Amino acid sequence: MADAPLTVLELLRRAEGWFREQGVSSPRLDAEVILADVLGCRRLDLYLRFDQPVKAENVTTFRERSRDRARGKPVAYLLGRREFLSRSFAVDSRVLIPRPETEILVEEALRRAAAIDGDGDVHVVDVGAGSGAIALSVAAGCSRARVVAIDVSAAALEVARANAAAFGPDVVARVEFVLGDLLAPLAGRGLEGRVDLLLSNPPYVSDAEYARLPRDVKDHEPELALRAGPRGTELHERLFRDGVAYVRPGGLVLVEVGAGQAAEVRAIAETNGWGEVVTLRDFQGIERIVVARRV
Ligand SMILES: C[S@@+](CC[C@H](N)C(=O)[O-])C[C@H]1O[C@@H](n2cnc3c(N)ncnc32)[C@H](O)[C@@H]1O
């Protein structure tokens, strides 16, 4: 006699138990999110379907994805997407998974952009575009924004451009993705002294911290997106130093920083010609975004 088909509840129980053994940090939630995606339903709908049998092909897909999750692959990569400010971004191992902390940077950038007088273009530069989460969210939230989004990774820019297409022609027309190192691609664009907002969530993990990162991050997300150098603030230092040539007097830099880096980054800003330096905290109370004005 053939085995009875597995139900939703039984699959969830087995995956949860296995994830727990493998040290997955949110075993039940992850099992539910993965199964809901396989079944094409909302996570909460699973609760109405606990007793339903799951088709063999869906069981197979769920088992394959669960195996990858147990090995540390982040849920966002398994689903191929991540929500950022209520918009869905395609993500895969070519780009960092956008984090909720970075939403604070975008919201502050949009507030600052809205406060810029007049109705002309707002020139925005996003350094380290990754999936395009910052650049595209700012362009979508501010119709005056013209964004140059730079990344040193050609593979990351492929993902960003694909995400841009989903935003539609108005946003595509106002965001240019450019390959290059930090601010180098700005040369020759006539943007010297004209940038209103210089934004960046740069790599900020120090070499020592990198060795200690959780395996979900270290073994799956791009090292180029995470690791900055011996101190972790190397990219911030270059941004504040080189940004002076491009940001107009009165314009702003908004950068994300790692836990414990804010004081050092504020000092870097102040010694490189920036003033009115303020710090925004994230949801855990950690100083996370440094904002500085070009004096
Ligand atoms: C922390 S990720 C941020 C991705 C995205 N902006 C976000 O917030 O989700 C940093 C990005 O900076 C890029 N990057 C690293 N070094 C760079 C450099 N020297 N110049 C430009 N981009 C760089 C990486 O490829 C990566 O996409």
The pocket around ligand 1, CB under 6 angstroms, is made up of 95-96, 98, 102, 127-131, 133-134, 150-153, 156, 181-182, 201-203, 224-225
Pocket test for ligand 1, best of 152, 163, 200 (most atoms within 8 A of CB): 152
Q: Which atom of ligand 1 is nearest to the CA of 102?
A: 8
43 DSSP 8-state letter: G
d(CA 166, CA 153): 21
Question: What residue ranges define each of the domains in the chain, with the CATH number in brackets?
Answer: 8-71 (1.10.8), 92-294 (3.40.50.150)
Q: Residue 53's beta-bridge partner residues?
A: 7
Contact 157, 98 (CB under 8 A): no
Give the Å distance between the CA of 122 and the centre of ligand 1.
22
Protein residue with least CA distance to atom 2, ligand 1: 225
Strands 145-151 and 175-179: parallel
Each of the 295 residues of the chain gets a pLDDT tens digit; together they read: 567 789 999 999 999 999 999 999 899 999 999 999 999 999 999 999 999 999 999 999 999 999 999 999 999 999 999 999 999 999 999 999 999 999 999 999 999 999 999 999 999 999 999 999 999 999 999 999 999 999 999 999 999 999 999 999 999 999 999 999 999 999 999 999 999 999 999 999 999 999 999 999 999 999 999 999 999 999 999 999 999 999 999 999 999 999 999 999 999 999 999 999 999 999 999 999 999 999 9
For residue 111, give both structure tokens: 């507030």
Give the Å distance between the CA of 68 and the centre of ligand 1.
25
